[in-house]
Amino acid sequence: MLIAAKARGIPGALAAPGWSLRWRTLGEQDVQQRTDIRQVGFTDGIQAMAPLLLAVVPFGLVLGVAAAGSAIGGGLGTATSQIIFAGAAQLVTIQLFDEGAAAVIVIVTALVVNIRHLMYSAALAPHFREFPRRSRLLLPYLLTDQAFALSILQFEKIEDPVYRRWFFLGVGLGLWLPWQGATIAGVLLGAQIPESLGLEFAIPLVFLVLLIPVIQTRPGLTSALVGGIVAVAAHGAPFHLGLVVGAVAGVVTGVTLERMGEP
Amino acid sequence: MWISVAVIGAGTYLTRLSFIGFFGEREMPRWMELPLRYVAPAVLGAIVLPAIVQPEGVIELLPAVNPRFLAGVIAAVVAYKWRSVSLVVAVGMGSLWLIEWVF
């Protein structure tokens, strides 16, 4: 079993053969089989998420440090990791509150940042259809960029709904727990660091990394540039509306370019 | 602030639940899908650019006045090549402190 898991290397790449191999050997005991699919799915999920933690843990640390040194504070900063559980939206919330933005602007911006979950939800919905009702209500809380990417890949390979459900739980918790740990560690660390170091600059730096994969197409790049330039130009607008105006301009640009048939 | 965070949390959960919980059988309509693809670049651009060219509210590109622009450019190059959060934060913060120290 260990060899099968190790041989996979890249999460999901060879998971199907490895899994069916184990499934067949255990298939003789009917009662145990069911429990084991759960366990295999859950473990596979945890293992698939593990390499991504290299990127997630520093992100969580930065978030905690930034929260501790900002208007939102360490307590509420930590709570965003449980209440929102979406890194980019949490960072936006922390940064905007620190700049003194109005609550409505913070809420709208954070929700716009998170609107991509609609896409993930739509793509996963057919696979979740066979899950029990309670899972369909609770599991989406754990839906993140990473959980989505790993599950959609794995769901194409393995159709068993029990396996899928436990795989998603493994992936979800495999991210949730380290995220909480990293945020708390960051808050504790941040409380020790003087404000003069300008650590809040780490927030746009993280966004810079998130920006790279989404500007690989020409409309994507133009959309980001227009969004940025309009936001800069509209900086003087009240209530931080510049950010919202810039974002809308960027989306309109991207959609228009794609409609016009740009690659 | 607590109330805002709670509203954002609830809204986020609802977007995650949306198609899984409510629309089960329905596919996402195309008119929704297209704009959604550009939300990420547009919002991120609108956050990042002002943060590096006008941290104090006025556009400043000179490293002596606004070290964040040069540090941001250096970090962008590193982000483009390696895409690692820890590396970019380390290089970006390092350059910021170095530029501040030099000028």
Tell me how far apart the alpha carbons of residues A48 and A46 are, in angstroms, rounded to a whole number: 6
Tell whether B34 and B2 lie within a shared domain: yes
Give me the pLDDT at residue A153, please. 84
Specify whether B59 is located in the same domain as B46. Answer: no
Residues B40, B23 share a domain: yes
Please state the three-class secondary structure of chain B as a single string. Answer: CHHHHHHHHHHHHHHHHHHHHCCCCCCCCHHHHHHHHHHHHHHHHHHHHHHHHCCCCCCCCCCCCCHHHHHHHHHHHHHHHHCCHHHHHHHHHHHHHHHHHHC
Kindly report, residue by residue over B15-29, the tens digit of the pLDDT: 999 989 887 666 777
Give the pLDDT mean for B32-37: 81
Give B66-102 pLDDT, tens digit per residue.
999 999 999 999 999 998 888 898 999 999 999 999 9
pLDDT number for residue A3 = 37
Domain end, chosen from B51, B66, B88, is at: B51
Residue B61 and residue B41 in one domain: no
The reported pLDDT for the residue numbered A24 is: 43
With an 8 Å Cβ cutoff, are B35 and A250 in contact?
no
Residues in chain A where the model's pLDDT stays below 70: 1-35, 239, 262-263
Q: Chain B closest CA to A92's CA: distance in Å?
A: 8
- Say whether both B6 and B44 belong to one domain: yes
The reported pLDDT for the residue numbered B70 is: 96
Q: Per-residue pLDDT tens for A12-57?
A: 333 443 444 444 444 445 555 666 899 999 999 999 888 888 778 8
Q: Structural domain of residue B30, as residue ranges?
A: 1-51
The H or E element that residue A179 is part of is helix A161-190
Q: List alpha helices for A50-144, DSSP H.
A: 53-68, 73-83, 87-98, 103-113, 116-128, 133-138
DSSP label at residue A263: -
Residue extents of the structural domains in chain A? 2-51+120-181, 215-263
Judged by a CB distance cut-off of 8 A, whether residue A220 touches chain B is yes
Which phi and psi angles does A234 have, rounded to 5°?
A: -95, 20
| Domain identity same for B90 and B73 | yes
Last residue of a domain, one of B36, B51, B66: B51
Answer whether A235 touches B (CB < 8 Å). Answer: yes
Clarify whether residues B103 and B59 are in a common domain.
Answer: yes
- Per the structure block, which two tokens stand in for A6? 């190790």
pTM score, whole prediction: 0.74
Rounded to whole angstroms, the Cα distance separating B15 from A169 reads 18
Question: Which chain A residues in 150-209 lie under 8 Å from chain B, judged by CB atoms?
Answer: 197-199, 201-209
Do both B3 and B41 map to the same domain? yes
Question: Does residue B69 sit in the same domain as residue B41?
Answer: no
Examine the domain organization and report whether B39 and B68 are in the same domain. Answer: no
Q: Which of A89, A68, A52 is nearest to A200 (CA)?
A: A68
